[in-house]
Amino acid sequence: MKKYIDELKYYQKLATFPMNPTYDEILKANSLRGNEIKKTPLIYSSTFSNLTNSEIYLKTEFRQKTGSFKIRGAYYKIKSLSEEEKKYGVVAASAGNHAQGVALASSLENISCTIVMPKNASPAKVAATRGYGAKVILEGMNYDESYSKAKEIAKETGATIIQAFDDPQIIAAQGVIGLEILEDLPDVDEIYLPIGGGGLAAGTVIAIKEKNPNIKVIGVQSKSFPSMYESVKQNVRTFAGGDRTIADGISVKMPGKITFEIIKNLIDEIVLVDDDEITKAMFLLMERMKFVVEPAGAVGLAYLISKKPSPGKKIVVVLAGGNVDMYLLGQIVDKGLAAMSRLLKLSVLLPDRPGAFKEIVDIITLANANIVEVVHDRLSSDVNAGSASVTMNLETQGKEQAESLIKSLETKNVQFKLLT
């Protein structure tokens, strides 16, 4: 009965809400992608199935050309431009993935391309965008500020703005992901995907609901930029966010007009995750699956690992991109190890005498832990004369071994502070 009620609700919404793009536009985008856009693999993960108590399949969009799903929309939009429009080139604003997609698509179509990126954009994404032949301008601290500059350039030069998400053709091409999911796993119960401006979610939810309104589509945002979450909650487009987040690819303060209307009417739920949850998901993807996925691309899996919302359900998670700054990647590894008690950071206060540090080393050795890094400090103002502070990074096998080591230090009356 619930199945038929869900279908009835969907068709009632369609009767009052003119869909733009239509399902037919998504089919057209699929037919025109040629050899440039890959169908990415859908991979079952026993690891994440066990961690979430669900049956988890990973849609590996980070394996797409340019490292994210964004090339889908950019290529279809630019390929659809008239010859007159192509003469003036294109301009776009992006934190990185859309930038690379537009740059590559422009190169394939032999037209000029200018990309405006936030000043805090990943250096790796900036370098890659330039590598595809685009002129890069760094302006603003987030997408919205960069987009304002892109509009100025378009007005001055006549270039066509290639929207990151709020364009029917962009949305339609991203929606092809929904077609691919249904082709590979027609009996999927739920789909989790990231939301920034909403292009990926809008296109995918149209494709999915057209074929089966009973499949749940859940969008995931960063708690630092919950713009679509707040907009749907208040039933009006709303500015939200501005705090720092590692998920730069979805740090959008205001959702698109078109994407908001689609998502408001069709999506089943929008949920939020924080940076710690994202970090854990990225770490586990690297360690267990050998997948390098960027923060914005990992938010869906982050929510499932943290909340385990759908036991027994067959779930697809869209891993939307894999363009990660190498410095951030190193931090993710360290924080992931620390969160699992496999990396401990200790500050130990010792009497400044021969053999004092060896006594600590002996305790660590007996616990079978590994010393990774040592910093010895006598000069800081909080270290008294006759004492020395030693900060150590220690590698352990996990929580049980870490707790055993801490207990040994306490038993020996060692003055220490746990920093992780």
- What's the pLDDT score for residue 376? 85
Give the pLDDT mean for 263-286. Answer: 97
Q: Where are the alpha helices (DSSP H) in 110-167?
A: 123-131, 143-157
Give the pLDDT mean for 386-413. Answer: 91
Closest to 39 measured CA to CA, from 73, 16, 65: 65
What mean pLDDT is reported for the chain?
A: 92
| Distance separating alpha carbons of residues 164 and 174, to the nearest angstrom | 11
According to DSSP, the β-strands at 387-395 and 314-319 are: unpaired
Residue 351 confidence (pLDDT) above 70:
yes
pLDDT in tens, 131-140: 999 999 999 9
Q: Residue 13: pLDDT band by 50, 70, 90 thresholds?
A: low
Q: Is the dihedral of CA 333, 46, 70, 110 positive or negative?
A: positive
Structural domains in the chain, sorted by start: 1-339 (3.40.50.1100), 341-418 (3.30.70.260)
Residue 9 confidence (pLDDT) above 90:
no
Residue 151 confidence (pLDDT) above 90:
yes
Give exposure, 181-199, as e/b (b: 16+ Cβ within 10 Å).
bbebbeebbbbbbbbbbbb
Tell me the pTM. Answer: 0.88
Which residue has tokens 């999911």?
Answer: 181
What does R_g of the chain's alpha carbons equal in angstroms? Answer: 25
Q: Residue 6: pLDDT band by 50, 70, 90 thresholds?
A: low
- What's the pLDDT score for residue 4? 56
Lowest-pLDDT choice from 61-75, 131-145, 216-230, 391-405 = 131-145
- Cα distances from 22 to residues 14, 104, 153, in angstroms, run 11, 26, 31
Residue 371 confidence (pLDDT) above 80:
yes
Contact 152, 90 (CB under 8 A): no
